[in-house]
Amino acid sequence: MTSSLDTRPSSLRYWAVIPAAGIGKRMGGEIPKQYLELNGRPIILHTLERLLGHPSVRGVVVALSRHDGWWEHLDTRYDKPVLRVEGGVERCHSVLNALHELSLHAEDTDWVLVHDAARPCVTYDDLDKLISSLAQDETGGLLAVPVRDTMKRAEPNGRVIDTVEREHLWHALTPQMFRLGQLRHALEQALEAEQLVTDEASAMEYAGYQPLLVEGSASNIKITRAGDLALAEFYLQQQETY
């Protein structure tokens, strides 16, 4: 592995990781949400093709549940490698497992874009913007959108405690893009300290880094509840018209 960051355009390599070991309890169905149909095809295939369709992405590692019974029935033959690894209990475990596999094929200085399986509407423009904004960055960063609505903090019973100032607040999206070696080390460090970080940027923050926020499109939604399927379908149809 190389020890210095070579940021010449010819030396930059990009890989993607998709943590997809969850079961999507909030969707309320028996099928994990990444396998629900969207425009006639499983959500995860839309997501895979968005990443693999970008010319800079060399391949994808997908982290799946040990008990996943759906993946093997999908047609995942692409002209770029799609590797499968076993996921973990939480997202951070799944991502770390994928990074360990990727380390067998990539350099520690390569970039990794970690993207939610249930975000099929990410655009090539946003991927371009993320990659170009971070190509020479020492830390990396993530797509995000500024908070535009009034934010409330509540008690467990739903009663408002106070109103949170929304200035400088952002909604974190994915992909989140960091150097392979740095992200792997940050996740290992967080897990050793029993910090179950909820995204990759949080792991990097715990390790002392300051990820860069790159403004992306609000159409890059995460399908979490049943109503999100119709919205994602609308966005995909809109994107096809451009």
Structure tokens at 147: 């908070």
* Residue 2 resides in a domain: no
Evaluate whether residue 121 is within a structural domain: yes
Return the CATH number at 174. Answer: 3.90.550.10
Residue 233 within any structural domain of the chain: yes
The predicted structure's pLDDT at residue 8: 40
Mean pLDDT of the 150-171 span: 94
- The model carries a pTM of 0.91
- 25-78 pLDDT, tens digit per residue, is 555 567 899 999 999 999 999 999 999 999 999 999 999 999 999 999 999 889
- Whether pLDDT at 190 is above 80: yes
In a domain, 154, yes or no: yes
Residue 7 lies in a domain: no
pLDDT at 3: 32
- 4 falls within a domain: no
Distance CA 161, CA 151 (A): 11
Domain count along the chain: 1
Task: Please tell me the total number of residues recorded for the chain in this structure.
Answer: 242
Output the average pLDDT for the chain: 92
Within a domain: 3: no
In a domain, 230, yes or no: yes
Q: How far is CA 151 from CA 142, 155, 220, in A?
A: 22, 14, 21
* Percent of residues, the chain, with pLDDT higher than 90: 86
Range of the domain at 202: 12-240
123-152 pLDDT, tens digit per residue, is 999 999 999 999 999 999 999 999 999 999
